[in-house]
Amino acid sequence: MLAEERRQRLSAAMHEAGIDCMVLYGNAWQGDYLRYGADFGILEGHGLALVSAAGEVELFLDSATDAERAEIEAPGVRVHFAAPIAPAVGARLDRMANARLAAAPRRFLPRWLTDTARGFALTDATALVDRLLMHKSPAEVAAVRRAARLADEAYVEFIRAVRPGRRQYEIVADIEAYLRGRGCPDNFMIIGSGGKDVLGMAPPSERRIAAGDLVTTELTPAVQGYFAQICRTLVVGKANEAQRRAFAVYVEALEAGIAAVRPGARAADVAKAENDVFRKHNLGDYTTSQWTRVRGHAMGLFADSKPHILEDVETVLEPGMTLIVHPNTYHPDAGYIVLGDALVVTETGAEVFCQTPRELFEVAA
């Protein structure tokens, strides 16, 4: 059981750090810390899990609907509906005031719990949990691998769904339905369509697909809470020469980034390998934060986990880290282009999970 394995790893880390009770915060945006300890995928409101060093878990939720769901979906966890949540958790922590208490991510906790007027103090254990989140066990890696396979399959559906005249949100509806039909309840997905006027991706809009559009997507389904991402770009109609030339830069950058992935390399090395390709093609300006957010990131219980792949991130890569390398950015001759593959860091380099060809797909105009 993944949940039990995670709880044992957390307990071991808490013992080593001298922590008696860990408070894990989560919401539907940033739910990975909570899910790690409580194995609950929160959808509504705030959640706080109290995990003892012995591995016992109490889960406080301020959504009655989610609390009801947790009673079934999180077996072995004592669930409390508590609104407002902070005083309820505070009352529980008051009874443990002499214990060594920690929290992750501490900066996300409701302010009330960190107020100096409280009778307990919560040290920041974010880095401790971050290490656990980053270094996946073989079972966790297997879940990411299955999610990546699902991402590949969903991208085939995406290619089918893109047709001139359809609106962006109708395309996303097809993909969400496809994933639902496969028993996958969670996905992160953004989309872009158009030409050189498009600077990035966003949630789906009412914009209609037109001949000549570049259509970009990040598709990120989850399996047992573990996300895996694929990024691809297609053209509606035949790709023109400028689009083909531009896309070749991204293929080269992605290959360079993946080649830089190996144990001991830093996240910065991967980003530099990708960006050097753009610099070589006199596109260095488009590797800055004005045009691109990150050159990849880790994936796991959160779709956008640490470390981010950027030239100033010193995190050292180790076997078991699951990442996406994606040199997504704007190209002045073609518009916004995305290309990225999910992978795991192995003992010798990287195992790429995504099987979808790295090509500029074309659909009928």
Binders of other proteins among residues 189 to 218 (CB under 8 A) are 189-190, 199-200, 202-206
Residue 4 or 73 having the CB closest to other proteins: 73
Binding region for other proteins (CB under 8 A) out of 169-177, 262-270, 338-346, 351-359: 169-177
Two structure tokens written together for 19: 């922590």
64 in contact with other proteins (CB under 8 A): yes
Residue 120 or 188 having the CB closest to other proteins: 188
Binding region for other proteins (CB under 8 A) out of 79-87, 145-153, 279-287, 350-358: 79-87
CB 264 within 8 Å of CB 181: no
Binders of other proteins among residues 222 to 281 (CB under 8 A) are 224
Q: Which long-range contacts (CB under 8 A, 24 or more apart) does 149-153 make?
A: 149/353, 149/355, 150/179, 150/182, 150/184, 150/221, 150/223, 150/228, 151/219, 151/220, 151/221, 151/228, 151/229, 151/230, 151/342, 151/354, 152/230, 152/354, 152/355, 152/356, 153/182
Binding region for other proteins (CB under 8 A) out of 173-181, 229-237, 262-270, 272-280: 173-181
Binding test (CB under 8 A) with other proteins, winner from 11, 187, 287, 315? 187
Binding test (CB under 8 A) with other proteins, winner from 18, 75, 84, 284? 84
Separation CA 200–CA 168 (nearest Å) = 14
Beta-carbon contacts of residue 50 (< 8 Å; ≥ 6 apart): 21, 22, 23, 57, 58, 59, 60, 89, 92, 93
Residue 46 or 326 having the CB closest to other proteins: 46
Two structure tokens written together for 249: 């830069």
Binding test (CB under 8 A) with other proteins, winner from 13, 20, 55, 112? 112
State the residues that interact with other proteins by CB under 8 A: 27-29, 41, 43-46, 62-65, 68-69, 71-73, 81, 83-86, 106-114, 169-170, 172-174, 176-178, 180-185, 187-190, 199-200, 202-206, 224, 289-293, 303-304
